[in-house]
Copies of this chain bind each other. A is one copy, B any other.
Amino acid sequence: MIYKDQTKEVLENELKIEKGIYEGILKENVSIDISRGKPCSEQLDLSNELMSILSTTVLPAGAADVRNYGGLEGLMAMREIFADILGVKPNQVIAGDNSSLKMMYDTVQSCMQFGTLGSTPWNKLDKVKFLCPSPGYDRHFTVASAFGIELVTVPINEFGPVMDIVEALVVSDASIKGIWCVPKYSNPTGVTFSDEVVERLAKMECAADDFRIFWDNAYIVHDLYDEKVTLKNIYNSCVNAETTDRVFMFASTSKITLPGAGVACFAGSEANVADIISRMKFQTIGPNKVNQLAHAQFLKDADGVRALMKKHADIIRPKFQAIINVLEDEFRDSDIASWSNPLGGYFISYNVMTGCAKRVYELCKKAGLVITTVGDTYPYGRDDRDSNIRIAPTCTNTNELDKACQILVCSTKIACLEKIVSENE
């Protein structure tokens, strides 16, 4: 139904029907959370072998005893797996503990406190700004704003961040020190950056010599379908463009093995790795190498990772499809909602009629469905269009998803109908 073509009577009748459905839902005491990109228990079970794999392992003793102190860069076996996936050399990788977010935070903090590769510490500058392709990942934005970094929203389209805008900003403003990127299966849009976008990010002229791309490859092997999407290797593009030190890369096994107990990594030029290690040596006597060894033995190699990801896809693909099918059925010919149909990653980006997302959120919440706080996908929590809703379907079961879809659809219709009807008065 194209709402704008309907008479007031039709719309009011529709609204009445939906409110009736909604009243029914309220009586069901629903409690469902589709707000965060969390794997479900069935996915976690795929890695249960991690808990016991070392019980049958003869550990190398002496200096190389993974149980003891040492080894800032992490175990070579894990560095090799990440290097293979990211398309860099193992000595360009630092394998850490469970949180790539912590590695990103520490990297930003280090640039603030010490600068990077000898640049002026960002703390000493009057102003530091980061570009935030949006809608994007809320935790990226809050890392930067925790340091008082000004967040500059740039739009993201089907090819990635809109490069005409990005290039115009970075060439003219030396206070722009970074850009947050989830280049493959972006959170929440599902977009994979095009080759041209990757090339232009590597090549673009930046007023700041120490401009850095924070390249969070959180979903690099997280395909939902056999039809793989290829992401151009930005490190190679940087080497070709002679901007080798521009990109800080991050990844983790959080959504490969276990979110709470995986292995994260930093990767970059050898100079960047040496710079970070030169400071890490004051901070720690090494990451949890026992967990890294368990991971290396469990995953074996990059092919092992890809085989495991197929099993994940088999579990979560139906959940994405269930939601997409409902949205197709309900809103295919509608003018109040549109959505992404991602080939990978953890989210569906759902856009409702301008000015209605917060109301949809409230209605869902009242009915027992928690969705990501509206606005969180934008810097400072401000979605000026009040339109974007992020849906994370993975950590729910089929029954819950059916109910979640019903609530979402009903809430969307009510919110939009209310707005149209009130504007027509």
| Residues on B with beta carbons closer than 8 Å to the beta carbon of A99 | 283-286
**Per-residue 0/1 for A275-296: is the Cβ within 8 Å of any B Cβ (1 yes, 0 no)?**
0000100111111111100100
Q: Which of A106, A260, A279 has the most CB of B within 10 A?
A: A260
Partner of A69, one of B260, B282, B287: B260
Partner of A68, one of B44, B67, B147, B288: B44
| Residues on B with beta carbons closer than 8 Å to the beta carbon of A98 | 97, 286-288
Whether, in the assembled complex, A38 has its beta carbon less than 8 Å from a beta carbon of chain B, the answer is yes
In the complex, residue of chain B having the shortest beta-carbon distance to the beta carbon of A101: B284
Q: Which of A52, A62, A97, A290 has the most CB of B within 10 A?
A: A290
Minimal beta-carbon separation of A27 from chain B (angstroms): 24
Given contacts A51-B55, A109-B113, contact A67 B259 (CB under 8 A): yes
A36 to B68, CA, bound (A): 12
Contact A283 B101 (CB under 8 A): yes
Contact B70 A283 (CB under 8 A): no
Minimal beta-carbon separation of A55 from chain B (angstroms): 3
Whether, in the assembled complex, A105 has its beta carbon less than 8 Å from a beta carbon of chain B, the answer is yes
Partner of A283, one of B67, B102, B254, B288: B102
Q: Which of A47, A71, A123, A261 has the most CB of B within 10 A?
A: A261
Contact B113 A147 (CB under 8 A): yes
Minimal beta-carbon separation of A216 from chain B (angstroms): 14
Minimal beta-carbon separation of A123 from chain B (angstroms): 6
| Residues on B with beta carbons closer than 8 Å to the beta carbon of A52 | 51-52, 54-55
Closest 5 CB pairs of A and B: A52-B55, A261-B290, A51-B54, A102-B284, A146-B282
**Per-residue 0/1 for A30-62: is the Cβ within 8 Å of any B Cβ (1 yes, 0 no)?**
000000101101001001001110110100011
Whether, in the assembled complex, A11 has its beta carbon less than 8 Å from a beta carbon of chain B, the answer is no
Whether, in the assembled complex, A166 has its beta carbon less than 8 Å from a beta carbon of chain B, the answer is no
A206 to B44, CA, bound (A): 51
Given contacts A51-B55, A69-B260, contact A113 B105 (CB under 8 A): no
Whether, in the assembled complex, A270 has its beta carbon less than 8 Å from a beta carbon of chain B, the answer is no
The contact size tier of chain A is 35 or more
Question: Main SS of chain A's interface residues?
Answer: loop
Whether, in the assembled complex, A157 has its beta carbon less than 8 Å from a beta carbon of chain B, the answer is no
In the complex, residue of chain B having the shortest beta-carbon distance to the beta carbon of A57: B51
In the complex, residue of chain B having the shortest beta-carbon distance to the beta carbon of A99: B284
In the complex, residue of chain B having the shortest beta-carbon distance to the beta carbon of A261: B290
From residue 62 to 100 of chain A, which have CB atoms closer than 8 A to chain B?
62, 65-71, 97-99
Contact A284 B105 (CB under 8 A): yes
Contact B68 A258 (CB under 8 A): yes
Other A-B contacts than A51-B55, A69-B260, 10 sampled, CB-CB below 8 A, are A44-B65, A51-B52, A66-B260, A66-B261, A67-B261, A68-B260, A101-B285, A102-B284, A123-B123, A261-B291
19 A-B pairs, CB-CB below 8 angstroms? A41-B62, A44-B67, A51-B290, A66-B261, A67-B259, A69-B259, A70-B260, A71-B260, A97-B288, A99-B283, A101-B283, A101-B285, A102-B284, A105-B282, A109-B109, A113-B123, A123-B123, A139-B282, A260-B286
Minimal beta-carbon separation of A203 from chain B (angstroms): 32
In the complex, residue of chain B having the shortest beta-carbon distance to the beta carbon of A105: B283
Minimal beta-carbon separation of A191 from chain B (angstroms): 23
A279 to B142, CA, bound (A): 10
Contact A41 B69 (CB under 8 A): no
Q: Which of A69, A102, A287 has the most CB of B within 10 A?
A: A69
Whether, in the assembled complex, A112 has its beta carbon less than 8 Å from a beta carbon of chain B, the answer is yes
A158 to B414, CA, bound (A): 75
| Residues on B with beta carbons closer than 8 Å to the beta carbon of A102 | 283-284
